[in-house]
Amino acid sequence: MTTPVPVGPIPTPEFEVELGRGRVRFVLARLRLMWRSFRSGWGIFMESRMGRLSLFTIVAFALMAAAHPILMAFVWDPATYDPVTGYSFDQVEQPAPPSWKHPLGTDPLGRDVLSQLLYSTRSEFVLGITAALVTVGIATFVGAVAAYYGRLLDAFFMRLADLIIALPAISLLIVLSALFHLNLFYLALIIGVLGGFGGTAIILKSQALSIKVKPFIEAARVAGGGDFHIIFVHIIPHLLPLALLYMMFTVTSAIFAEAVLSFLGLLDLRMSWGIMIHTANTGGYLLGGTRYWWLIVPAGASITLLCSAFYLAGRALDEVVNPRLRRRND
């Protein structure tokens, strides 16, 4: 072949690819490309009111979670403010209503409600995000593999998914938590596994099926790509946007499940929003109507807000991910 390879910098619309000193520049150009597509997706996300609202709420909760260790280290005396072992001696009667020292009051055991709330936020995030990552990791892989290989593997995973869907997840969790002492990590793992082999896998599989029959898969095979290459380079990247969407929904359901189990007193956690409500309930304060509102409202509202925020984030991501909605913005 005698066609001369062009040398020196070749002008490109957005970036300069310099041959010769290739690699770094080359990687840089790719990063810029990824950044550009991220920015356009971000723009669409922030254009929607749901997106802005959910992001604002999630960031607010994240700040709350981050604030707790700082407050404990520099402002709050652990003897009084520890979310589990603290006791407020200056209050005559427990639970005490909000005051300057305890902005959200104290619980029936004399502990500061605000401290409990902030402390739990971190666990909720850890729980939700771990569960979501596990779900999506499993579901993406199972969906891609089942769609790509089909036949027995597909039949097996789909029957498994049907089985999991047919089982009511909450009652299964109740049984499991009654039998074993579930801590936060195991709870996240179980919720993640149930989601990952359950409905999410079916959804991601049907998406993968529609990718598998595209001619570019055949083109990749003719290029010499093996199964591994096709699954990881061509199929899974097409599943990721949808997977991200279902991650958001999983966070919601994980936080909710935790709340229910804790409320029933079945979990082995130090503190959580569900436990806060559980404590109020076992003391009989839920029946007191609105008189002891500070025992229920902060935790209850937090559960509702954070769950809806992740749900709304999912809905807003839908606009980014869904090409039909996206084309409008191109």
Partner 1 sequence: MESVSNTPEAPNARTPGSEASDGEPLVAVHGLTKLFPVGAGPFRKPSSFIHAVDDVSFQLGHGESLGLVGESGCGKTTVGKLLVKLLEPTDGEIVFRFADDSVAPAADDPWDSAAIRGRLLRSFRRRVQMIFQDPYESMNPRRTIYDIISEPLSVQGMGDVQYRVDRVLEILTLVGLAPAGAFLFRHPHELSGGQRQRIAIARALVIRPSFVVADEPTSMLDVSSRTGVMSLMQDLATELGVAYLYVTHDLAVARYMCHRIAVMYLGKVVELAETEELLRNPLHPYTKALLSAVPVADPGRRRQVPDIRGDLATPIDPPSRCRFYERCPAATERCLNHPHPPIEEKTPGHLVACYEV
Q: Which residues bind partner 1 (CB under 8 A)?
A: 1, 3, 5-6, 10-15, 17, 19, 22-23, 26, 29-30, 33, 151, 155, 214-216, 218-226, 229, 234, 237-238
Q: How far is the CB of 23 from partner 1 (least distance, A)?
A: 6
Handedness of CA 271, 122, 307, 100 (dihedral sign): positive
CA 314 to chain centre: 10
Indicate the residue among 11 and 168 with the shorter CB distance to partner 1.
11
Indicate the residue among 7 and 179 with the shorter CB distance to partner 1.
7
**Residues 282, 285: Cα–Cα separation, whole Å:** 8
3-state secondary structure of 83: coil
Closest CA to 51 of 316, 318, 322: 316
Q: How far is the CB of 291 from partner 1 (least distance, A)?
A: 58
The one-letter amino acid at 149: Y
| Residues 6 or more apart in contact with residue 70 via CB below 8 angstroms | none
Q: How far is the CB of 215 from partner 1 (least distance, A)?
A: 4
| Residues 6 or more apart in contact with residue 265 via CB below 8 angstroms | 278, 282
The one-letter amino acid at 48: S
Q: How far is the CB of 54 from partner 1 (least distance, A)?
A: 26
Handedness of CA 255, 261, 264, 265 (dihedral sign): negative
Give strand pairing partners of 10: 17
CA distances from 55 to 46, 130, 317 (A): 9, 19, 11
Indicate the residue among 14 and 77 with the shorter CB distance to partner 1.
14
Q: How far is the CB of 233 from partner 1 (least distance, A)?
A: 8
Indicate the residue among 78 and 237 with the shorter CB distance to partner 1.
237
Q: How far is the CB of 55 from partner 1 (least distance, A)?
A: 25
Q: How far is the CB of 138 from partner 1 (least distance, A)?
A: 23
SS3 content of the chain, % helix, strand, coil (to 5): 75, 0, 25
Indicate the residue among 10 and 297 with the shorter CB distance to partner 1.
10
Indicate the residue among 17 and 301 with the shorter CB distance to partner 1.
17
Indicate the residue among 22 and 69 with the shorter CB distance to partner 1.
22
**Residues 299, 212: Cα–Cα separation, whole Å:** 45
